[in-house]
Amino acid sequence: MLDLPSLFELLVLLPAILIGLTFHEFAHGWVADRLGDRTARYQGRLTLNPLAHIDPVGFIMLILFKFGWAKPVPVNPYNLRTDPARGMLMVSLAGPAANLLVALVTSLILASGLARLVPYGNLVFYLTLQINVILAVFNLIPVPPLDGSKIVAGLFPGRARFIYGMETYGTVILLLLLFTGVLGKILWPLVNFITGVFLALGKVMF
């Protein structure tokens, strides 16, 4: 039986989820824009407004299972002022990198004690740290349409056709991995380890 979050859990999760999804997608659009593709800018996606980036299904999945996604930022690789595969690799890396940067900043806020100035601040900022690590790790899975698939395609251009050809089945593969428990068994140890590293790093810096 699905364990639904309480109203309190939703209230403390929402800021973490919105921050994670928004910075992830904004980073994709910002890097693409800097590389010459204005598609995200023209479609109103080069913004930190969370409403521009929410995918309803991915948002609900993130609340229920802590594995989810946002509405992908549109990118035309042929507008990039670089090799399309190399450009998409950089654009794809930007999302997880932004999440890890947010996680680092959050760990510093927790270590500094500033989080205590906000009601339930330690919990909210801890969840923000954890959700951003989850988004970074989850999106690095090399299964389309996740960022990891485009990163692998950029690193191994000869495999790009095969990787992108999986996109039709990618979501089904991810859902099967999630509901069979395989995804959690692989990712949670990594998420917990990286979260612990950030918490320790924050304490060292303060």
Separation of alpha carbons 169 and 164, rounded Å: 10
End-to-end, the C-alpha distance of the chain in Å comes to 43
The one catalytic residue in 18, 25, 109, 130 is 25
Tokens of 197: 């590293």
User: Catalytic residue at 167?
Assistant: no
Is the distance from CB of 173 to CB of 179 less than 8 angstroms?
A: no
Q: Name the DSSP letter for residue 197.
A: H
Which residue, among 139, 140, 109, 142, has the nearest Cα to 126 in the 3D structure? 109
Count CB atoms within 10 A of the CB of residue 123.
16
Residues 175-203 as b/e (b if ≥16 CB within 10 A, e otherwise) read: eebbeeeebbeebeeebeebbeebbeebe
Separation of alpha carbons 105 and 92, rounded Å: 21
Query: What are the catalytic residues?
Result: 25
